[in-house]
Structure 1
Amino acid sequence: MRSHWKKQVIVLPSLGRVSSKMQQLILPVLLASFWTTCTGAGDWCYQSQFTCDHQCKAPDNWNHAHSDCAGRNQSPINIVTRKTLKDEQLTPFQFDNYQQIFRGTIKNNGHSVQVGVPHLSTISGGGLPTNYKAVQFHLHWGNNGGPGSEHTIDGEQYPMELHIVHMKHHYTDLTTALSDPQGVAVLGFFYERSNSANRKYEPIINALQSIKAANGNTSLHSVSLAQLIPAEQNLTAYYRYKGSLTTPGCTEAVIWTLFENPIPLSMEQLRAFSELKFHSGKQMVGTFRPVQPLNGRQVFRSGGAVILASSALLLAAIAAALGLSQTN
């Protein structure tokens, strides 16, 4: 558990003729009495929200209110690609009604930006045990375009991460689905900085101006899940592991899929998310949970991930060869 300390200005009383040895004994006791510890109280929060003046339960203390947050199958994690295991069952996904245009509500829920999704969009295949229907999507980000993804790849933290949350098709609410060890499937996508704006994200970026305050919400005009993620043919490379929700109560009922292909956003678009505010009015930045121990879990990779990695190595080899031939 991480302790947070608050220093106070103190004036030490005169020690008069007390011997130097006695001063050495007394001073630490006096100093200790003027330091106060603040371990966090109230609602859960991200590390970026915590101050001794505004105490809340930072990630290190989430388990004090939600015991599942101390479980052995927690998310997010750092994926070490060389330790992943190829799984032939991780075939391409089938995305149904992902092209469906809908008018949703986008909300600043005090911890993130969240959009409810009509339960028409479904996923199947991809090694999933059954069909899953979309429920909502939300995002995690850093500070003004800095590192902010929850999951990391070989230690690299991307600027932002998108989570599209699905539940098994026969469930009617997420709470019930979370009681099933395989009840929820989350698709995770990373973002990368681009030199140009991603026009497909304009409806979301524009809506952020109207939901800067916590609990603010507004209508999201004409958006589809498909427009927010890479083209379907570019979604064959991904990683899979068994984990949890990344916010309290940290329920371990999630099949995680993390796609290798990132989504481009301009620096201006990335920074727009940092203009939102937490409940306290503080700038909403650093909305990610630190990576959690793997605890012996195996991370699997799709065949596409291997092909992409091999292609990258091949291209690097060709580039190196061309470079050598040009210098000779």
Structure 2
Amino acid sequence: MQLLFSLALLLFLTLTAEAGDWCYQSQFTCDHQCKTPNLWNNADSDCAGRFQSPINVVTRKTLPDERLTAFKFSDYQKIFSGSIKNNGHSVQVQIPHGSTISGGGLSTTYKAVQFHLHWGARGGPGSEHTIDGEQYPMELHIVHMKHRYTDLNTALKDPEGVAVLGFFYEKSNSANRKYDPIISSLQSITEANKTTSMKPVSLTQLIPAEQNLTSYYRYKGSLTTPGCTESVVWTLFESPIPLSSDQLKAFSDLKFHDGKPMVDTFRPVQPLNNRQVFRSSTTAVIASAAVLVVALVAALGMSHLN
């Protein structure tokens, strides 16, 4: 009887462990039948929600929103020393709470908590969000929570408790030396759960110049890994970050928990389910202004001819 009880307990613990054993499609094998993205709802029921992320942004269906003004980045230029970790499904860097964002149509100030990345295989397509079906090589997520919260779990209970800034990467012919602190650290954290010190860095050096951050998309969504909590205000910037082919490939040298190459670390795009995606109106305004100037110049020219 005691043996049967022990076997039953072992089976229960195994099933319970497997319920949380989520993985990316690239990790699934006959020997490791983990829960791939289409089964994440078995790892966490919230992953079957109606407002999931990532999504494909269809630009012609986005609506301009005059409230989506320029962001105010506070202490983003502040240099900090920290550690970078291979957490088994990405690389993650914790951020001191001094850096904040406001404006940009946000309801309040949000403080930076951490950033992590999602990528493909050897520099191939790997971003989570797509723009008109285009998948970029990699995507950066800078995770923020409302300034009044002290931990991310509490913030996730607020329907708008978390704000994530998403940035795309593009291949360039030359290396982006601003990323040396991150790239040079990767060889020390190839194994899962490895952590190493990172050379001093600032958030400002990792993202496009502030004057290039006025064109972006906005929608309500979720975390892109289990538990898929639908408490995220998403901002996706149009201006991409350049990295060389070798820099992009360096991320594929990392390994998952099972020792397999850490590649294709993205969740497939999710149904929009009647959500509206908004866009900042800066680009449209600039374009309209340019057209107006051309028209005025032409009109003045015609008047001189007459």
Q: TM-score, normalised by structure 2?
A: 0.87
Distance change >3 Å, CA 312–CA 41, structure 1 → 2 = farther
Distance change >3 Å, CA 230–CA 156, structure 1 → 2 = same
Contact in 1 for aligned 2:119/2:139 (Cα 8 Å): yes
Residue equivalent to 2:197: 219
Residue equivalent to 1:187: 165
Residue equivalent to 1:291: 269
* Residue 119, structure 1, aligned to residue 135, structure 2: no
4+ long deviations beyond 6 Å = 308-313
Moved more, 93-102 or 49-58: 49-58
User: Larger relative CO (CA 8 A, sep 6+): 1 or 2?
Assistant: 2
Give CA deviations for 1:215-263 in whole Å, capped at 9, x if unaligned.
Answer: 0110111100000000101000000000000000000000000000000
> Which amino acid is 1:77 matched to?
I
Contact in 1 for aligned 2:221/2:232 (Cα 8 Å): yes
Give CA deviations for 1:199-230 in whole Å, capped at 9, x if unaligned.
Answer: 00000000001000000110111100000000
* Residue 142, structure 1, aligned to residue 120, structure 2: yes
Contact in 2 for aligned 1:75/1:244 (Cα 8 Å): yes
* Residue of 60, 84, 87 corresponding to 1:106: 84
Displacement of 1:305 after TM fit? 3.9
Contact in 2 for aligned 1:42/1:56 (Cα 8 Å): no
* Residue of 251, 254, 258 corresponding to 1:280: 258
Q: What percent identity do the matched residue pairs reach?
A: 78
Give CA deviations for 1:7-40 in whole Å, capped at 9, x if unaligned.
Answer: xxxxxxxxxxxxxxxxxxxxxxxxxxxxxxxxx8
* Residue of 270, 273, 293 corresponding to 2:248: 270
Contact in 2 for aligned 1:238/1:305 (Cα 8 Å): no
Q: How does 1:1-328 map to 2 (within 5 A)?
A: 43-306=21-284
Query: When the two structures are aligned, how many residues end up with a matched partner?
Result: 275
Structure 2 distance, partners of 1:184, 1:139, is 17
Residue equivalent to 1:17: none
Distance change >3 Å, CA 284–CA 134, structure 1 → 2 = same
Residue equivalent to 2:10: none
Q: Which has the larger radius of gyration?
A: 1
Residue equivalent to 2:301: none
Displacement of 1:304 after TM fit? 2.3
Contact in 2 for aligned 1:42/1:55 (Cα 8 Å): no
Which runs of 5 or more residues in structure 2 are unaligned? 1-17, 292-306
Structure 1 distance, partners of 2:35, 2:209, is 39
> Which amino acid is 2:268 matched to?
P
Structure 2 distance, partners of 1:308, 1:265, is 28
Displacement of 1:52 after TM fit? 1.5
Distance change >3 Å, CA 150–CA 67, structure 1 → 2 = same
